Amino acid sequence: MFSRRSLLSLLGLSILELSSLKVLSISKNSSNGMTLIKPNSLKENDIVGVVAPGTAVPSPDDLFRAKEILSKLNLRAKFSSNISKGTNYRTRSIQERLDDLMNMFLDKDVRAIFCIRGGYGSGQLLDKIDYSIIRNNPKIFVGYSDITALHIAFNKFARIVTFHGPVLLSPFSRYTFELLRNLLFGKEKQPKIQNPFETETIRSTHYIRTIKTGKAQGIVVGGNLSIICSLLGTPFEYDFNDTILVLEDVQEEPYRIDRMLNQLRLAGIFKKVNGLIFGECNDCVPSTQNVWDFSLGEVLDNYFSNLNKPSFYGLCIGHTSDQATFPIGVAAEIDAEKGTLTYLDNILD
């Protein structure tokens, strides 16, 4: 008679392997054969689910500020149950954060899901998510920074369009607010993402620097560089083939940016993409005035200028005072000289 241990040994399955079967099955069935789903656009008075997949938001003032933005969008807020429980990401369990997220997808009254902040911890949810629920209940999903992990997973395993854009505690300049509203309410079906026009300044507040001239088309993927690198070599990495890769980060010294871009290079990512955009990063500077350190511009040129693929620096995405929202998963064209990303297909139904 076989013992339980003998039976597991015979089958070649450990308890750890059993728990990973869900991820492996997802990996085999990722985006292959699945059509892309575009969520419906928003209408005034729609209910928006507000979640914090990473760090908690215990302050009632922060909840007020989030609700204020939604009110100005003429939307109604529904906060997840555990959004304010404790502080940081460690005081809520993975299951609590997962439940908050999935309940918003299951809630038939909720028309979109906005992240209130990033922080840390979203990546811990990836192998626990039932992606069939997301695919069967497609909704606008908005966030950035740590939320990049969810954008990647939703793109790959649920095949829905998501939106890399401000969290509800972002500064929300007029540019940020109006672009978000126009995209999500369907006023710009095939948007052109570009920096705000400036008429009153001599020197550009948000400048575009072309690294390699040219135009290219591809499926838009991207987000926070640190998060993208952290998921390389796992089932939860983008399919980079024939894409426009849009990257951003914050408070990373140039040598750290160099290290992450080198990781992408060694992984063969730059050979797969058709074009590259690196977002504005005003605080990506050396911590000391060491003459041996490269500047951020030198680092980007070292990696992008010899690729023979269109690339530019400076698009207002991610951790910037003016923040553009850009859809992930839809075809677009990069124009590296003009510093634009123009979508070639409708971004919403």
Which run of H or E residues covers position 102?
Answer: helix 94-106
Do residues 277 and 249 touch, judged by C-beta distance below 8 A? no
Annotation marks residue 151 as catalytic: no
C-beta neighbour count of 3 within 10 angstroms: 8
Name the pairing type of β-strands 340-343 and 331-335: antiparallel
Place of tokens 């677009």: 332
Q: Tokens standing for 49?
A: 């689910």
> Count of CB atoms within 10 A of residue 7's CB?
11
Annotated catalytic residue: which of 84, 145, 170, 311? 145
Write down the catalytic residue from 248, 253, 280, 333: 248
**Strands of the 162-164 sheet, one edge to the other:** 76-79, 47-51, 110-115, 140-143, 162-164, 326-328
Show Cβ contacts of residue 324 under 8 Å, excluding neighbours closer than 6 positions: 165, 175, 176, 179, 193, 194, 195, 315, 316, 317
Annotated active-site residue in 151, 164, 206, 319? 319
Residue 49 to residue 66: CA distance in whole angstroms: 11
Strand pairing report for 311-315 and 331-335: unpaired
Please indicate whether residue 319 is annotated as part of the active site. yes
Q: Which residues are catalytic?
A: 145, 248, 319
